[in-house]
Amino acid sequence: MILFIILIPIYSVAGESEWIWYNGHDLRFEYPSNWGLIDTSTGVVLGINDSFALSITMHKEGCYPLSQHPQLMDLMLKLWNKQMDGTPDGGPITQYVETNTGPYSTGIELYKNPDQSLICELHGYTAKNVTVTFALANWNKGDQKNILDLARIMKSLNVTLSGNHTSFI
């Protein structure tokens, strides 16, 4: 007599969120359906209030040159710094590079008491003459899932320009 044991992996997807598409402000990207989303006049803020907030804004004035990125990054970090509860753990770490689509910059600032992190990014799209800014205020620095979700959002981002445009500051 031969006894066959078949093991079927059982897992729950209750913790997994489905991803849905956002279309607006000439931006198209996917984000987890369990996140909240607020449309503003220039972009969107999405996330979970007690964990993190991600702001995505398209600047239609034009593609900011790399020489202006340090000033813009400094402004973004100072504006979002007001949202953080902790004290800065040193100065921000910034990087500015030119890519084949346009200038790209990132700034990361860590906070202590409590542990938090702030990530700001600027990505210029020279072919479309726009710059898109991302700011992620993460109130739980150790949460790597938020960082992975952010990477997926940014990978899915498409910038499209249609019709007449209003300049936003």
Tens-place pLDDT, residues 12-44? 333 456 999 999 999 999 999 999 999 999 899
CA distances from 137 to 5, 132, 159, 162 (A): 49, 17, 23, 30
Residue 3 pLDDT: 43
pLDDT tens per residue, range 45-99: 999 877 889 999 999 889 999 999 999 999 999 999 988 888 999 999 999 999 9
Q: What average pLDDT does range 125-131 have in this prediction?
A: 94
Where along the chain do its domains lie? 36-159
As beta bridge partners, residue 45 has: 38, 55
Integer Cα distance of 135 and 16 in angstroms = 24
More confident residue, 138 or 71: 71
Identity of residue 125: Y
Which helix (H) or strand (E) element contains residue 45? strand 43-48
Mean pLDDT of the chain, nearest integer: 84
Q: What tens digit of pLDDT does each residue of 100-113 get?
A: 999 999 999 999 98
- E strand or H helix at 77, and its extent? helix 69-81
DSSP assigned state of 150: H
| Domain 36-159: CATH architecture, name and number where available | 3-Layer(aba) Sandwich (3.40)
Cis peptide leading into 103, omega within 30 of 0? no
Q: Which residue has the tokens 């992975």?
A: 148
